[in-house]
Structure 1
């Protein structure tokens, strides 16, 4: 395999926008034809389009400080991102690679650690020469090591929709396969800051779309379904409404918005203590009806209510972003078919942990509110 240093590049583009150019606001399609040309001295991160489409960057330029990492570590993250961009891989791959290096080396290009070495593991990704990753000198070259990581990732069928920790483990074959997940939020932040919002981009390196049904943002998030947001988060009329209602037809599929572990599957009892979810609910009945809760990386929790039938998942099941978990209904405290969707920080199931799903999902590059 022929390896080459990533170029310092500027993305020259022609852009076609259909309907209104509303950044992450709904009806938007941006088609990008890119021509890479040598950088003529501009070391800024380039090409911010719509919801975030990062161009390649110069690792030797002035990079931002991102706690808890130092300058050399952020430079290594920039090299990882640059290699992924140079190989034509989408930003989701950059997030996976950066998170993997965070776990394996804390973004340090590690040499021989003597007795502390894990066998003969070296470099950013702790790749082992004895396992065929390359010579000791090669795997300590950040460009070479990143290229080898991405090349292996590309061979993993379906990696784009896998949980980050599954994709990373498929490449690394680590003794601690669940360790990568905790790095996903900060890895996404690093990619966003270094590549101008690229981790919020949906689609691939050619087509960028703001929230497309079934599309997974590079941040690893997607929409639970497409449809208009009706009753909002803690409105004047409903100050105790801890989520948003997405009004769509009965039986519409509901999808997990990110990879995670199902923590709750139940028929939520009403105000009278009854568990009657296989019939239509009504306002004032109380309860979420058939419901699911999922815990995601970063100790985030999402809640999905009022399903028409018993959900398709079970407690402790691992799900991936975009996996169907149930169908829209009107069970529980409901006036008609819709999905009640909540986001909670710190896996706090109470109202204290709830945040506005519209704002939160916008930040993940998977904005709610598009028509179904």
Structure 2
């Protein structure tokens, strides 16, 4: 499992735990305190939950819209539970679309280089806190009037405590400061802590919007200040170079990003080194590559490349197996991991990763034609 899969699983467990705790304490006691309900208690609770989900999901994306506008962005699309308003060819349209998030997604486009996503991230959190305070006040007022016949406040207390549970679950998912199975506001906060990451974030949105519209991305900004996020942006340019077989420029950019390993995470560094090793084995004399591998690739990096379930590492691993180690068994093992590694790649990179892996196999088959027959026989 990837780190974000594990983190997501933990967050979902915490959300369920939060729902159970509030459900069996505040919500249950409030239900039992109210003398009469307008309908069956389970049906009433179900309807309030549906309304609470709709209101909180809508409120979250409204916060994103307002924050985006304040930050200097235009709104590309507004999506709540798949119901999407989006712009196409200058016109606003409506349709059903998938979304990257728990309950919805708002996609932005920077109007200028000065656009800043901080309001986009912070405003929904501020709105959640206001909702929480209002609901707590209403609950406190309502629970005091629970013995008064005909008073609407006890009913309001029940609605408020259900809203607290729903909004808190959504907030827990959306504001936890780690990468989950979608791009959350909490993770965005960790990205935009540095000015260069804000520039990279705006560039990412620009590129993604062009790709979404089916337009060609001719040039992507290269960031000389290296962080994990700017490195991920620079990788787009690396892949462009690799697709054109411009290995020299790809290597130059990788070298720039790895000159100070302490500025990026271990995983990012190792995958960049795997990319560099892939290029070297593919393009340089075997004796030179073997010397580089023996002297520059330490045991920790070798273990990472052999165990990492990413196409970057797998491409390097299959070349190590077939060219340096000359082991058809290891090549077969690498091939068995390809489908799983490819699923973990970004969808936009699937096609180029297929081609790069094919280039690696062709290099192996040039040196060992008999391997091709062995692999085809499997």
Question: Could you tell me the TM-score, scaled by structure 2's length?
Answer: 0.28
Greater percentage in helix: 2
Question: Could you tell me the TM-score, scaled by structure 1's length?
Answer: 0.29
Whose Rg is larger? Answer: 2
Q: Which protein has greater RCO, CA pairs closer than 8 Å, 6+ apart? A: 1
Greater percentage in strand: 1
